[in-house]
Amino acid sequence: MALLRKINHNVQTDENSGFGANANSYGGRFVNKNGTPNIEKRGMHLLRRISWYHTMIDMPNWKFMLILFVFYIVINFVFAVLYYAIGIEHLHGIAQSQSILTQFGQAYFFSAQTFTTVGYGHISPTGFLTSALSSAEALIGLLSFAIATGLFFGRFSKPTAFLKFSHHALISPYGKGKGLMIRLVPFKNTNFTDAKAKVTLGMTIEENGKMTNKFYNLELELDRINALSLSWTLVHPITENSPLYNFTEEDFNKIHGEILVFISTFDDMFSNTVAARTSYTFKEIIYGAKFKTMYNPSKDGSRTILHLDLLNSIEPVTF
């Protein structure tokens, strides 16, 4: 009830948040730091509830390359076992006098040459089973490389908002009062225009003896800019019309709340609108600090230098 007294009842709640009101049905934060929903889906078979295409497109580069490499190694190993099981004598070019390990290695590399359709000719299949197996492997290889090429293209051509958000949100001096501040910056050689921002406050509060999720739209000093070339600090003035108006540093440490940030902007390179999301729990808000300036003119004054490594640089301040 103390929290309800702190919130200005004239502040209008956000009914379009997309999150339910029943706090007992939620666990943890609403949105992860990387912008993905903090949701784990169950109740349906894994193969039905997961899009493998989206999974392969969205996974990190190192994991994507590792999966391709492991798949290539494993499938050639399987075919090498099948060739060996049919009989090494049906692979012309492998000497029968060689050791078992050497013969299997030769079968493995014959499989790799067939899978990639290279076909050096040193080893060739003889007999119906071996020829049929090598033909099937060549077809699987062609299809596999076609799928891999499509995935590579999808990963490179996917419109992505190359934006980084500051690790923490800040409560800083603003005008004659305070303001909630969040900083973001474009970090690739892309051109963003017509950038829009929306910031929502979500809190779990007790209302009529029941724990309820409440969401409030936080008005920004600027919620839209024409060009996003430098850093952009989102500022929510904490005035009498703000749901954070009466909050103290102790409140941010005790209350379960989360700041949801949604950014959309137009990417000239892709000629498409891209979006980015993140969130800050109240424990990730630093009270009494401000961001340091992260750009300055070059020595000759001909360019502006944007220091990406200063995105999270802050300094303490007093109110």
- Output DSSP code: residue 244: T
30 close to 38: Cβ distance less than 8 angstroms: yes
Residues 271-283 pLDDT 10s: 899 999 999 999 9
Domain that holds residue 185: 160-316
Residue finishing a domain among 113, 141, 157: 157
Could you tell me the pLDDT band of residue 189, with boundaries at 50, 70 and 90?
Answer: confident
Could you tell me the pLDDT band of residue 265, with boundaries at 50, 70 and 90?
Answer: very high
163 close to 182: Cβ distance less than 8 angstroms: no
280 close to 242: Cβ distance less than 8 angstroms: no
What does the alpha-carbon distance between residue 244 and residue 11 come to, in Å, rounded to a whole number?
10
What does the alpha-carbon distance between residue 74 and residue 68 come to, in Å, rounded to a whole number?
10
Residues 116-142 pLDDT 10s: 988 888 889 999 999 999 999 999 999
Let me know whether 107 and 199 are in one domain: no
Determine, yes or no, domain membership for 45.
Answer: no
Let me know whether 168 and 139 are in one domain: no
Could you tell me the pLDDT band of residue 19, with boundaries at 50, 70 and 90?
Answer: confident
**Is the pLDDT confidence value at 149 over 60?**
yes
For residue 23, what are its two tokens? 């706090």
Let me know whether 149 and 168 are in one domain: no
Element housing 228 (H / E): strand 224-228
Q: Nearest 5 degrees, angle CA 6-CA 224-CA 268?
A: 145
Q: Looking at residue 87, which CATH number applies to its domain? A: 1.10.287.70
Residue finishing a domain among 94, 127, 157: 157
Q: Looking at residue 188, which CATH number applies to its domain? A: 2.60.40.1400
Q: How many CB atoms lie within 10 A of CB 87?
A: 12
What does the alpha-carbon distance between residue 207 and residue 22 come to, in Å, rounded to a whole number?
11
Could you tell me the pLDDT band of residue 6, with boundaries at 50, 70 and 90?
Answer: low
Let me know whether 111 and 178 are in one domain: no
Let me know whether 196 and 266 are in one domain: yes
**Does residue 206 sit in helix, strand or coil?**
strand
CA-to-CA dists, residue 113 to 72, 118, 141, 198, 241, angstroms: 12, 5, 10, 54, 70
Element housing 178 (H / E): strand 177-186
Determine, yes or no, domain membership for 17.
Answer: no
Let me know whether 145 and 253 are in one domain: no
Residues 233-245 pLDDT 10s: 999 999 998 999 9
Determine, yes or no, domain membership for 167.
Answer: yes
Q: Into how many domains does the chain fold?
A: 2
User: Given this model, what pLDDT does residue 3 score?
Assistant: 57
308 CB contacts (<8 Å, ≥6 apart)?
A: 164, 185, 187, 294
Let me know whether 150 and 188 are in one domain: no
**Is the pLDDT confidence value at 5 over 60?**
no
Determine, yes or no, domain membership for 112.
Answer: yes
Let me know whether 191 and 253 are in one domain: yes
Determine, yes or no, domain membership for 294.
Answer: yes
Mean pLDDT (whole number) for 5-17? 63
**Is the pLDDT confidence value at 25 over 90?**
no
**Does residue 202 sit in helix, strand or coil?**
strand
CA-to-CA dists, residue 138 to 4, 129, 134, 244, angstroms: 69, 14, 6, 64
Determine, yes or no, domain membership for 283.
Answer: yes
**Is the pLDDT confidence value at 65 over 60?**
yes
What does the alpha-carbon distance between residue 84 and residue 86 come to, in Å, rounded to a whole number?
5
Residue finishing a domain among 125, 140, 157: 157
Let me know whether 148 and 57 are in one domain: yes
Q: How many CB atoms lie within 10 A of CB 183?
A: 24
Helix segments in the chain, DSSP class H? 2-6, 46-49, 52-58, 61-86, 100-115, 128-157, 249-254
Could you tell me the pLDDT band of residue 190, with boundaries at 50, 70 and 90?
Answer: confident
Let me know whether 180 and 310 are in one domain: yes
Q: How far apart are the first and last CA of the chain?
A: 27
Let me know whether 234 and 189 are in one domain: yes
Of the two residues 99 and 97, the one the predictor is more confident about is 99
User: Given this model, what pLDDT does residue 35 score?
Assistant: 86
Q: What is the mean pLDDT of the chain?
A: 89
Let me know whether 248 and 266 are in one domain: yes
Determine, yes or no, domain membership for 290.
Answer: yes
Q: Report which of 219, 230, 231 is spatially closest to residue 174, judged by C-alpha positions.
A: 219
Of the two residues 181 and 20, the one the predictor is more confident about is 181
**pTM score, two decimals?**
0.81
Mean pLDDT (whole number) for 203-223? 85
Beta-sheet pairing, 169-174 with 285-287 = parallel
Could you tell me the pLDDT band of residue 11, with boundaries at 50, 70 and 90?
Answer: low
Could you tell me the pLDDT band of residue 10, with boundaries at 50, 70 and 90?
Answer: low
Determine, yes or no, domain membership for 36.
Answer: no
Mean pLDDT (whole number) for 104-125? 91
